[in-house]
Amino acid sequence: MAANLAALRSKVELALAGRVPAPFNFRDRNVFPTVSSGIHEIDSLTEGLPRGALTEIFGPPCSGRTSLLFSALGARTAHTEACALIDGCDTFDPHSAQAAGVDLKKLLWVRCRNIEHTLRATDLLLQSGGFGFIALDLGDLPPRVVRHVPLDCWFRFRRAVENTSTILVLLEQESNAKTCASLVLRLEAQPAGWSTTLETCAADASRYSLARLLDGFSVRAEVSRSRIQLQQVNGPHFRDPFHSANKTGASAVFETRANRDSLRSMLAEPRRK
C-alpha cells in the first residue's frame, strides 16, 4: 500500500511539475507578503497590496479607482517590475498615467472591446507569468455585464496567482469577486475642492461657475473584506511571527489632485482625423 501511494504521489507531482510547486505541501493561503500601493493612507489601512492573491477594488464612477490604480502602477514600475493593464473598455489614458508617475516602458497595455476579450486576455497573461502586477480594469463596463461573469472565473484567476509573486487587482463598480478575493476595498468620493480665478469672495465666485477650477477631491476607502495575515520580523529573531491585518470595516481617507498640466498637453495636441 505504501509503495502504491508513493508511486501515485510521484505521478501527481510529475503531472503538475512547472505549474504547482510542491502540491502536497500545506500552505496557509491567508499569509501573504505585501507591497506598497503608493498611497500612505491605503498602506496604513491594509498593510499594502498582497502578492499571490486577488485584490478587489470597487466603487462608483469618480470614486478614486483610477487614482489608486495609477498610484499602484507608479509604485511597481518605479521598482522596475513588469506590469500589465487589461483595459476592459479601452479607456486608459497614457498621458494621465505618465503624469501620475507610471513608467509606460514597463507597462503592457491590453486594449479590449468587450468582456469576453477581457477575460480571455487575463487568462493568457496569468498563464504566461513574469508580471509583478496585473490589473483587470472593468470599471467602465456596465455593472449588469460584469455581474454575469461566472464565479468560477474569479476562482480560476485567484488560483492562477497563488504561489507566485504576482499582484492581481480587479477594479469594478460593484463587488462581484468578494468570496474569491483576499482583500476587498470599497471606494467612495468625498466633496470636491475648487479654486477660483476671481479675486473676490467665495460667494461672488459661485455666480461664475466657469471661473472655478477643480483642485481635487478626497476618497474614502473602506475594507470590506480582509483575509490577510502578515509575516513580521521583530529584531534578529521572530517574535509573534504572524499578525493579522484583518481590518474589516476600517476606513481611511486620502486626497487626489487634479493634474492640469496633463490636461493642457492633451488639449494642445493636434486632433487626429
Domains along the chain with CATH numbers: 27-268 (3.40.50.300)
pLDDT for 115 equals 95
The two beta strands, 212-226 and 183-196, are antiparallel
pLDDT (tens digit per residue) in 167-182: 999 999 999 999 999 9
Do the beta carbons of residue 172 and residue 148 sit within 8 Å? no
Return the pLDDT at 250: 87
261 SS3 class: helix
Report the C-alpha gap between 42 and 254 in whole angstroms. Answer: 8
Beta-bridged to residue 5, according to DSSP, are: none
CA–CA distance from 113 to each of 56, 171, 211, 257 (Å)?
21, 16, 37, 30
SS3 254: strand
The per-residue pLDDT for range 138-149, each reduced to its tens digit, is 999 999 999 999
Q: From the CA atom positions of the chain, what is the Rg in Å?
A: 22
Q: Which residue has the higher pLDDT, 216 or 46?
A: 46
In tens, the pLDDT along 176-210 reads 999 999 999 999 987 766 666 655 545 555 555 55
User: Which tops the pLDDT comparison, 36 or 217?
Assistant: 36
Q: Write out pLDDT tens, residues 18-48.
A: 555 555 554 545 678 999 999 999 999 998 9
Q: What is the mean pLDDT of the chain?
A: 80
What is the arithmetic mean of pLDDT over 150-177?
A: 95
The pLDDT assigned to 259 comes to 60
- Neighbouring C-alpha atoms within 13 Å toward the C-beta of 47: 21
pTM of the model: 0.75
